[in-house]
Amino acid sequence: MTKKHDENSILTELHELANLVGYNIRYEKGDFEGGNCLLKDQKLILINKKLDPKKKINILSKNIKEIGIDNVYIKPTLREFIEEEIVKK
């Protein structure tokens, strides 16, 4: 399995997890990295589409953890991955 394939798989799993907890993910252009927000009644995680996949994964992981996933079933490998991403700077 290639590194790019691994990153795409992780991004897919993080997208599914965000959707599970009620958030949609949008990739936009702009002078920002990313974060979660509430737009009208829609819960969003916005991510700068120009970021590399590793940075997108890091932002998604941190925001999903911030939203709260303690009471959600997540594959142990994905939960461990999210925890590791949070401690990265």
Count of Cβ atoms closer than 10 Å to residue 34 Cβ: 23
Global pTM value:
0.84
In this structure, what CATH number is given to the domain that contains residue 26?
3.30.2010
Domain tally, the chain = 1
Among 24, 27, 14, 26, smallest CA distance to 64 is for: 14
Whether the predicted pLDDT of 89 surpasses 60: no
pLDDT digits (tens, 9 = 90+) for 30-78: 999 999 998 899 999 999 999 999 999 999 999 999 998 888 899 998 9
Q: Which domain holds residue 77?
A: 3-87
